[in-house]
Amino acid sequence: MYSLQPEAQSSSTLAPVLHASDTESQEQSLDAGRVKIKASFLLARPVPKHSLRVSSKLLLQVQQLPKDHRPVPVLEIRQPLLFKSKFTRGFQQDVKLRSGDLFAHLIESYVKSSPAGRSLSNSEDQTIHGKTFTANKVVGAICHNEMASKIFFQDARFGWQGRAIEVVGPQKSRKCYRFAINNEERDPACSSGIILQWEKKNEDVESAALLNGEMFTLFLIDRRARRKAKMATITNDRFEMNVRKSFVRESLQDCFDLMGYTDSETGDPRHVFESRLYTLTLTLGIWVGFQEAWFN
């Protein structure tokens, strides 16, 4: 059993970042244009401990920070110690994990932004034929590659491809990590033109108190509409999300449609949308952190 504690990097709090459907249920999921999606997460490291377990190694735990409540552990980032495929047996794609790859294990439901979704527990077990089954599951997998890593999600037919790039600016280039949906069945001419991009903040224009180390900002970029909006920030010990623009939610729903999500998740469509958003952005952000050697 691992005992986790947050990395004592900074005592300051990051400033918040301001950042169509065919069915009625999907419209309801995005209709709440006045409802913001805002959340804070703490990235905690496990205390080093020798273990005889050979199935996987706990590298990082993501703890959500609800308002007026203790931190809620929601996601664990683990690494298979051997070549293992059992962790991704329920995935829509054939995902084979190697020893250096990562997978995300959901251990508790996210605390949703809307009042109706603020349940702090998802650990209700179901007894079927005398056996107990929990809601815990592997929801994401990161497969490293020298050129471009691939990120898969359990209930989606298509994942994302991530790679490091350099974006040339007016004064100097900026390090970025770009992600695009890896939908091999879709005609490239019909692409949505939507990408997610983590960009390293320019230290010259940010206060030292705010940065306190490296920070990346996540942008949603809609190339066809020529729009770009902030969604989140990440440092080596904290993740902040703030989505409030309607076009961002609509573009994200387009992404989920392109990913080919199944209908295995039930409940309020807004809460399903928010859970998928947290899993997606946290997983992509953690991949960036590992590329930056924050968690190694």
Residue-level pLDDT at 244: 85
**153 vs 55: CA distance, rounded Å:** 20
Is residue 201 pLDDT above 80, yes or no?
Answer: no
Q: How many separate domains does the chain show?
A: 1
Interval 210-227: pLDDT, tens: 545 579 999 999 888 789
Q: What percentage of residues in the chain have a pLDDT greater than 90? A: 36
169 in a structural domain: yes
Would you call 284 helix, strand, or coil by DSSP? helix
162 in a structural domain: yes
Interval 123-179: pLDDT, tens: 333 332 333 333 458 999 999 876 778 999 998 999 999 999 887 777 677 789 999
225 in a structural domain: yes
Residues in a beta bridge with 218: 198, 232
Asked whether the beta carbons of 114 and 271 are under 8 A apart, the reply is: yes
Maximum distance among all Cα pairs of the chain, rounded to whole angstroms: 66
**Element holding 282 (H helix, E strand):** helix 269-291
Average pLDDT, the chain: 75
**252 vs 38: CA distance, rounded Å:** 15
Interval 71-82: pLDDT, tens: 999 999 998 877
Residue-level pLDDT at 239: 96
Confidence of residue 40 (pLDDT cuts 50, 70, 90): very high
143 in a structural domain: yes
State if pTM tops 0.75. yes
DSSP 222: E
H helix and E strand count, the chain: 4, 15
**250 vs 128: CA distance, rounded Å:** 38
Domain range for 129 is 4-291
In sequence order, what are the residues at sequence separation of 6 or more whose Cβ sits closer than 8 angstroms to the Cβ of residue 17?
A: 217, 230, 231, 232, 233, 240, 242
Asked whether the beta carbons of 103 and 142 are under 8 A apart, the reply is: yes
Residue-level pLDDT at 173: 77
Cα distances (Å, whole numbers) of residue 112 to 37, 60, 66, 68, 118: 8, 22, 9, 14, 5
287 in a structural domain: yes
237 in a structural domain: yes
Is residue 254 pLDDT above 50, yes or no?
Answer: yes
Q: Cβ atoms within 10 A of the Cβ of 80, count?
A: 22
In sequence order, what are the residues at sequence separation of 6 or more whose Cβ sits closer than 8 angstroms to the Cβ of residue 20?
A: 27, 30, 250, 253
296 in a structural domain: no
